[in-house]
Structure 1
Amino acid sequence: MFPIVRLIKEFVVHRNAPDLPGIGTHISHHRCWPQDLDMFLEMNNGRILTILDLGRFVLAKRVGLVAAMRRNGWGLTVAGSSVMYRKRIRPLVRFRIESRAIGWDDKFFYIMQSIWIGDICAVQALFRTALTDKNGIVKPKRAFADVGFDEVPPELPMWVQNWIAAEKTRPWPPERMG
């Protein structure tokens, strides 16, 4: 179940946070609650993805995309992701999420997020996201024009470029296994 109470909390906590530039970093603070745990008494990997959603939603608000989405009837979707889990998140542990757009191309925004317990990175994720309307994908250039952001996209890090290239070799639709 989506943690709607946490989402509301995030929007309330950050309601007066200053706007961010298109590639600004949003930082949020959280705790691993009992409902987040799996049978190994650590934060469930699916819950980690859901918690990262919260960071992306508030990031989208702070860069002006949520207002643009409302004005234009756009939706927000994840079109791909890659996640590295490196440290267990145990019950009641406090952690922070850092969320930032690291670049975009003609169709997608690339969002990097990480979960930190103190100075130790527990999780790092890359998301390929897109705005959508009834006709399909809304180009980032159009979205940024709507929010008044006109900077040239930064060059994507090589590891992100490699991930994008690798994803292009992946067959779609996938082969049936049964």
Structure 2
Amino acid sequence: MTLCYVIAGVCGGLVLLYWCFEVHYFLRMCLVVIWARLFKKNMHIMDTAHVTGICLSTDVDTLLYHMNNARYLRELDFARVDFYERTKLYRTIRAKGGAIVQGATTIRYRRFVRPFSVYKIASKIIYWDANSIFMEHRFITPKDNFIRAIAICRQRIINASVEEVLQELLREKVSGKDPEIGLQKPECPLEIIKWIECNEVSSANLRNGY
């Protein structure tokens, strides 16, 4: 009888835990960090990171026909953490007393990701300014190499110099990587220029009460 009470208490505690917190999200985030640190190779800051995912039954929309739009953004959290760990971006920012937060995101959906389809997320830095790092994420299905969705994210760095962080990481030597490759800051793509302008207009409108 005592064992039954213990089992019931444990089950009740787990239900309460899942009710109050998104346990699966935190567990998976911890797994991504551990996997990136222990089992994946370090990368240069200008390299492209790849993570693999699969559209499960818990990821589909109400029509059970394709991946829920919100799931794309959720998957980007895990892709970014993998990138942060393998390039030492997060550790470098923290070592300088800073923090990194999501400032803005835009995503364009091009074609459905079907249930139980395998996809890859390719993540890379495409530009940075005085306050932020701009990352591009591509959802690619390996079977046809088609880009199903593309997202641009602005990561704001707080209490640390973006330029100092990036210059330190640009000089970082990675095994098998030519140290002269990727030492230059990339030119700002036209789409990023326009996106920054769009965000600035939105900020101005909000400040003016629109």
TM class by shorter-chain length? 0.7 to 0.9
Q: Which amino acid aligns with 2:74?
A: T
- Counterpart contact for 2:44–2:169, Cα < 8 Å: no
1:58-81 CA distance string (max 9 Å, x none): 101111122224434533211111
Q: What residue identity is the alignment partner of 1:158?
A: L
- Could you tell me which residue of structure 1 aligns to residue 165 of structure 2? 143
Aligned to 2:206: 173
Count of aligned pairs between the two proteins? 173
- Aligned to 1:169, the other structure's residue is in SS state helix
Correspondence for 1:161 among 193, 196, 199: 193
How do 1:104-119 residues align onto structure 2 when only pairs under 5 Å count? 104-118=128-142, 119=145
Larger radius of gyration: 2
Q: How does 1:56-95 map to 2 (within 5 A)?
A: 56-95=80-119
TM-score of the aligned structures, taking structure 1 as reference length: 0.84
Inter-partner Cα distance in structure 2 for 1:81 and 1:19: 26
TM-superposed deviation, 1:90:
1.8
Offset at 1:132?
2.4
1:7 aligned counterpart, secondary structure: helix
Contact 1:79 1:127 in 2 (8 A): yes
Higher helix share: 2
Pairing partner for 2:58 from 27, 35, 40: 35
Q: Distance in 2 between matches of 1:158 and 1:65?
A: 25
Instruction: Kindly indicate whether the alpha-carbon contact (under 8 Å) linking 2:45 and 2:89 is maintained by their aligned counterparts in 1.
Output: no
RMSD value, Cα: 2.3
Deviation at 1:152, TM superposition (A): 3.7
Paired amino acid for 2:137: Q
Name which of 139, 150, 154 aligns with 1:128.
154
Partner of 2:71: 47
- Distance in 1 (CA, whole Å) between partners of 2:75 and 2:69 is 10
Percent identity at matched positions?
20
Q: Which runs of 5+ in 1 are unaligned?
A: none
Cα distance, 1:36 vs structure 2: 1.2
Please tell me whether the aligned partners of residues 105 and 153 of structure 1 are also in contact (alpha carbons under 8 angstroms).
Answer: no
The amino acid that maps onto 2:193 is Q
Q: Matches of 1:163 and 1:141 in 2, distance apart? A: 21
Q: Give structure 2 stretches of 5+ with no counterpart.
A: 1-21, 173-182
